[in-house]
């Protein structure tokens, strides 16, 4: 059984991104899950990583043994994914990241401890817009080049943090999803 987990970005506008990802890739999976963050409905400004990790842990625990998990994670969702993998409860066969915000995570999540990045060993691809105003491309490139040898960085053209260029993503992801 193949299962897709979609971890959107921080702001409530990312709920639609998650729904579009699920809709676009639904035919390649037996089951689907999009995590909705508590602060989206409580009008908080930022996700509580501990709370969202607990919700993700509960979801993963509900999956049948032997389920192959694939993760699509955008922005803060990618940081949530890294933490879940490091914690040992999420063991995806493949991850795709979109706009990884390492500058934000360095202070707001990691607190100087990069072990979740350094220990990440899941085969993955990271799509990153070269002019992303939220997560600077060069910083993300440096972190991936120096700390994440299993992650392939794909520089995408764009000057936003939307990550909705499915034609580009499909070139890389459909082969993986079809296996």
pLDDT at 33 over 80: yes
**What pLDDT sits at residue 60?**
98
**What pLDDT sits at residue 2?**
97
Confidence of residue 135 (pLDDT cuts 50, 70, 90): very high
- Retrieve residue 68's tokens: 């192959």
**What pLDDT sits at residue 111?**
84
pLDDT at 104 over 90: no
**What pLDDT sits at residue 24?**
97
Share of the chain above pLDDT 70, in %: 100
Residues near 80 by beta carbon (within 8 Å), at least 6 away in sequence: 7, 35, 47, 49, 52, 53, 56, 73
- Bridge-based pairing of strands 68-74 and 151-156 is unpaired
38-96: pLDDT as tens digits:
989 887 778 899 999 999 999 999 999 999 999 999 999 999 999 999 999 999 999 99
H or E segment and range at residue 33: strand 31-34
How many whole angstroms separate alpha carbon 43 and alpha carbon 161?
Answer: 21
**Residue (of 153, 167, 80) closest to 116 by Cα position:** 80
How many whole angstroms separate alpha carbon 23 and alpha carbon 172?
Answer: 18
pLDDT at 164 over 80: yes
The answer to whether the predicted template modeling score (pTM) of the entire model surpasses 0.85 is yes
């Amino acid at each position: 059984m193949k299962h897709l987990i979609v971890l959107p970005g921080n702001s409530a506008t990312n709920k639609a991104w998650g729904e579009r990802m699920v809709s676009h890739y639904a035919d390649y999976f037996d089951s689907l899950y999009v995590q909705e963050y508590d602060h989206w409905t409580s009008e908080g400004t930022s996700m509580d990583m501990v709370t969202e990790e607990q919700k993700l842990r509960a979801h993963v625990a509900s999956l049948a043994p032997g389920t192959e998990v694939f993760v699509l994670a955008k922005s803060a969702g990618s940081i949530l994914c890294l933490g879940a993998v490091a914690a040992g409860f999420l063991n995806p066969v493949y991850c795709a990241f979109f706009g990884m915000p390492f500058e934000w995570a360095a202070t707001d999540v990691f607190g100087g401890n990069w072990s979740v990045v350094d220990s990440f060993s899941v085969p993955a691809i990271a799509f990153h817009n070269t002019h992303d105003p939220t997560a600077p491309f060069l910083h993300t490139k440096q972190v991936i080049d120096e700390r994440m040898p299993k992650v392939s960085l794909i520089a995408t053209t764009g000057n936003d943090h939307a990550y909705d260029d499915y034609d580009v993503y499909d070139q890389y992801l459909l082969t993986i999803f079809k296996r």
